Amino acid sequence: MIKLYYVISRQVSLKAYFFLFIILHSAIELKGSTGELDLYGNPRKYIRIMDKESAYKEYKRCGTRIIKVNIPGSSTYFSPACQKI
Ligand SMILES: [Zn+2]
């Protein structure tokens, strides 16, 4: 298993926090991700752009292959061209 550690600047940290807030707020507003139902059987409306279905496929926005990275307890997916570390 490869472990990745990065030291990021305060500016990058604040930018990541800002976009994390936007994404989480959107997901909550739309009551969760599509493909799942709420307690009352209603479909959830947040559409994930990258997930396990899109891993290693071409990202429509830039044509780069989507990368999957395992993190403790979860996985994350990103475009190495658009989302540089
Ligand atoms: Zn990209």
33-74 tens-digit pLDDT: 888 898 899 999 988 889 889 999 999 999 999 999 998 888
Structural domains of the chain, count: 2
Centroid of ligand 1 to alpha carbon of 60 (angstroms): 8
- Which long-range contacts (C-beta less than 8 Å, at least 24 apart) are formed by 16-24? none
Per-residue pLDDT band for 1 (boundaries 50, 70, 90) equals low
pLDDT value at 2 more than 70: no
Residues 53 and 42 in one domain: no
What pLDDT does 7 receive? 80
pLDDT in tens, 13-22: 899 899 999 9
What pLDDT does 3 receive? 64
Centroid of ligand 1 to alpha carbon of 22 (angstroms): 19
Residue 43 belongs to some domain of the structure:
yes
Centroid of ligand 1 to alpha carbon of 84 (angstroms): 9
Residue 34 belongs to domain spanning: 8-48
